[in-house]
């Protein structure tokens, strides 16, 4: 999990570097920002899903289960 407003690089730059170094790491973007430009850049870096803050824990667990191949939790 990585924060989009990471300093000094910024979240999109962290995603870009991660994508350059390891092409097969799935990333779910969790952000307080919803501007279209940032979302499009993240999708271009193969983000597998997108969640806006505040995080809904039950929904995030379900998404993680989906991507990890586990059954969804009832929490």
**Domain extents in the chain:** 11-68
Taking every pair of Cα atoms in the chain, the longest distance, rounded to a whole number of angstroms, is 38
β-sheet bridge partners, residue 29 = 50
Per-residue pLDDT tens over the stretch 7-35: 677 778 888 888 888 877 888 888 877 77
Task: Find tokens 């850049």 and name the residue.
Answer: 41
Inter-residue contact 41 to 12 (CB < 8 Å): yes
**pLDDT: is 1 or 6 the higher one?**
6
Instruction: Tell me which of 1.10.10.10, 3.40.50.2300, 3.40.50.300, 3.90.79.10 is the CATH number of domain 11-68.
Output: 3.40.50.2300
Distances from the Cα of 42 to the Cα of 51, 61, 67, angstroms: 12, 21, 18
Mean pLDDT of all residues in the chain? 78
Rounded CA gap, 29 and 32, in Å? 10
pTM: 0.65
């Amino acid at each position: 999990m990585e924060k989009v407003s990471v300093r000094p690089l910024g979240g999109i730059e962290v995603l870009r570097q991660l994508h350059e170094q390891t092409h097969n790491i799935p990333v779910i973007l969790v952000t307080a920002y919803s501007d279209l430009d940032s979302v499009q850049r993240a999708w271009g870096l193969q983000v597998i899903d997108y969640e806006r803050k505040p995080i809904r824990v039950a929904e995030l667990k379900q998404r993680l289960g989906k991507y990890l191949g586990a059954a969804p939790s009832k929490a």
